[in-house]
Amino acid sequence: MSNQCRHLIIILGDQLDHEHPALRSADPAQDAIVMVEALDEGSHVASHKHRTTVFLSAMRHYAQHCREQNWTVRYHELSAERQQIIDGIAATLDEYPCQSLWAVEPGEWRLKQALADFAAERDIALRWFDDDHFLCDADTFRAWAKDRKQLTMEYFYRAERKRHDILMDGDDPVGGAWNFDKDNRKSFPAKGPGMLPEPPRFAVDDITEAVIADVNTAFPDAPGSTDNFFWPVTREQALEALNRFIEERFVGYGRYQDAMWSGEPFLYHALISSALNLKLLNPREVVEAAVVAYERNPDAAPLAAVEGFVRQIIGWREFIRGVYWLKMPGYKSLNHFDHQHALPEWFWDAKTDMNCLRQSIGDTLQNGYAHHIQRLMVIGNYATLAGLLPQAVCDWYLGIYVDAVEWVELPNTLGMALHGDGGVVGSKPYVASGAYINRMSNYCKGCQYDVKERAGDNACPFNTLYWDFMHRHRKALSGSPRMNMVLKNLDRWEPEHLDAINQRASALRGD
């Protein structure tokens, strides 16, 4: 790099797009790239070692790719001198003065504000590029959401299907239905899932080996271990992960996407969410791969599985991002139920007598991963019923999962898992008693608690906390027609039984 450049292009750790919008408009002969590994990004929440390793290894591999494309890259590795990303940008500008900064909109409100404030303080122009990785930009979502009393994902999803002509037969959905949830919520038979396809595990190369050493040095007390690191960190690996899912596990994904089983953290899931959220994969190519697989062989890629998968990509993923940018920054501080309890210590070591939580959090701590039902209907369900402080839960989710970036994690956790936003994301809380977990898993068979009991020391804590939650929040919940049928159960019980539930729940929460 010469001692001066025209535009300095900031590329963040979740913007590793090989068709990066700013690079498409730039010139390698005149412009340069800056990438920064900042200690604060791995410590402002307790970040799992797998998560930090995924980000940093993918960043270093991407920087290498850019150099091979003749870009000048000023890359700052972890250093005590760079606590924040702006520290590395400032150091680069001091060394190589530039006329302006270019950046794609970050995935965190916090970081976008920090970059904007930095540019203003340095009196340097900052040009924002739209993040065209997504199928629905913020303005389009805002126009869709305008004047709607309830932001219903299903309606958004149908509009997106039509707008992008995905799984459509003219104006009608392929197969005659918009979704096939009734086919996608099966539990495993009593004997379990049987022989499962091996998930992809990617070898650790020299770059990742160096990252692992740096992560263990910089964050020795972070959750998890790097000993079993296996996530994709390059575009080539991400494509392999996608292709292997389509070829090997798609056939079981739809039917069993909500099922859980002891000792099986991956089952039929795609394991591409981290690659998607780092932008090593584009959602358009992911959707196309699924649709082509269905068109080629519906037996190997059933329509119910394909539709459910497509809905996760162009429905929930895009909807959640739209909610984030529509509602921030105030959204992050919402606490609809005024829940205030601290996270139990076993969120960090999985040492709990509740087998479903021991399994789900154990999987999380082992791999930096748990699938969506473990996150929503086991861990998130418990956090809601036990009255845990939403902001503490959101920080845990943001740091603990390899695919967590705030735009996707915050609305999913605060809104969907905790109903902490009071109904922005979902019309009712996603809460359930132990009966749901018993139906969708074998967890209850390995638990010391009785899933059929509501009160007493031997009762399933999910049952106790569920009915106590319904009792404590009855007035607020009665506004939802979907909850009234459940709430009527409270009227059938003797006051002594309800008192026993409430007292046991108070003890479980540590009141």
What letter would DSSP give residue 26?
A: -
Residue range(s) occupied by CATH 1.25.40.80 in the chain: 138-199+234-327
CATH 3.40.309.10 for the 138-199+234-327 domain, yes or no? no
Residues of the chain with CATH 1.10.579.10: 345-509
- For residue 150, give the 3-state DSSP assignment: coil
First to last CA, the chain: 61
**pTM of the full predicted structure?**
0.96
Please report the pLDDT score of residue 4 as a whole number. Answer: 74
Q: Please, what sign has the CA dihedral across residues 388, 390, 393, 397?
A: positive
Q: 459 has which bridge partners?
A: 450
Residues of the chain with CATH 3.40.50.620: 5-129
Query: CB–CB of 207/64 below 8 Å?
Result: yes
Q: What single-letter amino acid sits at 74?
A: R
Cα Rg for the chain, rounded, in angstroms?
24
The topology (CATH level 3) of 5-129 is Rossmann fold (3.40.50)
CATH placement of domain 345-509? 1.10.579.10
Tens digit of each residue's pLDDT, the chain (511 residues): 456 789 999 999 999 999 999 999 999 999 999 999 999 888 889 999 999 999 999 999 999 999 999 999 999 999 988 889 999 999 999 998 999 999 999 999 999 999 999 999 999 999 999 999 999 999 999 999 999 999 999 999 999 999 999 999 999 999 999 999 888 889 999 999 999 999 999 999 999 999 999 999 999 999 999 999 999 999 999 999 999 999 999 999 999 999 999 999 999 999 999 999 999 999 999 999 999 999 999 999 999 999 999 999 999 999 999 999 999 999 999 999 999 999 999 999 999 999 999 999 999 999 999 999 999 999 999 999 999 999 999 999 999 999 999 999 999 999 999 999 999 999 889 999 999 999 999 999 989 999 999 999 999 999 999 999 999 999 888 877 778 888 988 989 999 999 999 999 999 998 8
CB 274 within 8 A of CB 402: yes
Q: What is the predicted pLDDT for the residue at 3?
A: 66
Q: Give the model's pLDDT for residue 476.
A: 87
**Cβ partners under 8 Å of residue 479, min gap 6:** none
Q: How many residues are recorded in the chain?
A: 511
